[in-house]
Amino acid sequence: MHTNYDAAGSSVNDALADALGISGALPLAGGVRIGFARPTPLYAFADRVGERLGGVVRRYGRPETIVSRIAVLGGAGGDSAEIAQRAGADAFVTGEIGYHRALSALDGGMCVLEAGHAATEWPAVRHMAGILRSTGLDIEITESAIEPFL
């Protein structure tokens, strides 16, 4: 289990799926979520991921490939690419993935979007803050615009 938040019924990956507009997200092994987005060329979906999460998105796959069945795993999720691929994902959004895992995913017909470790986890921070605010707590989130690995 990645965090206690993941164990509590909602998860980092549910928040990520919601932030990306993925509907009907279902849990897979290892915390992966898979659901659907409107059929979109990979380049346009990558642009949307970048807009919604902020930061740089590295795209693995042909830009014109149409994607609609999307798997997500925030943070360092590259080791779970095969889970997403076996579930039939057209694309896998994660924070980090190694070169050879990305190539393997492409060889298997799945595109990959590497959106940054922190960027893929921030939707969960915002979601948790909203939950805490709904109980009457005054929560302030401080975000740093510094990307340490560019």
Mean pLDDT of 41-51: 98
The span from the CA of 134 to the CA of 28, in Å, is 29
Q: Is the pTM of this model over 0.85?
A: yes
For domain 4-134, the question of CATH label 3.40.50.1360 is answered with no
Report CA 106 to chain centroid distance, whole Å: 17
Tokens found for residue 98: 């190694």
Whether residue 33 has pLDDT greater than 70: yes
Residue 92 pairs in a beta bridge with: 71, 112
pLDDT number for residue 145:
64
User: Are the C-beta atoms of residues 137 and 115 closer than 8 Å to each other?
Assistant: no
